[in-house]
Amino acid sequence: MTLTSRLFTVVGMVLVFGCGGDGSTLGPDGTPIVDDDPIDGAPGNGDSTAVSVTLSQLSADIFTPKCATSGCHGSFPSAGMSLAAANIAAAIINVPSNQRPNLKRIDPGNPDGSYLLQKVRGIGANAQMPLGGTPLSAAEIQLIADWITAGAPAQ
């Protein structure tokens, strides 16, 4: 399956199943606010390049709103791991996990060996993340896995 096909599958799953939130992205009639701008690299917009997720996108769409919250991985981070946008790359890429030092938080190119991905998948010891919150959707987890597979670029 190509990266473009995966992206469309993920986007379709998000549109069908929705995601948790505070309702701030809903219009007055309760329907989601949709950005009509085409995705770069999507078929039909004149761009033939492959679509890939970036750390900046993951930070804005997943890590900041769902993980970098007060008492978790924000200003005063739990387990010493901040997922705040300003220092996320230095805090997670090629950094040993405090809970499992034999695993890196993010091991570029190795999603199954990346402890952060194991935690959001609910694999292994300790609690699934986000702790006490709604688990990430399959689409969100897949985006993180795809980014790691692509080498976890720190952009």
Instruction: Please tell me the pTM assigned to this model.
Output: 0.63
Q: Pick from 132, 135, 80: which is nearest to 105 by CA?
A: 80
Question: How confident is the prediction along the chain (155 residues), in pLDDT tens digits per residue?
Answer: 565 555 455 444 443 344 444 545 555 555 555 544 444 433 344 443 354 889 889 988 888 888 767 667 767 666 677 777 678 888 889 999 988 899 999 999 999 999 989 998 988 777 878 777 888 899 999 999 999 999 999 87
Taking each helix axis from N to C end, the angle separating 3-17 and 138-149, rounded to the nearest 10 degrees, works out to 160
CA–CA separation, 27 and 153 (whole Å) = 34
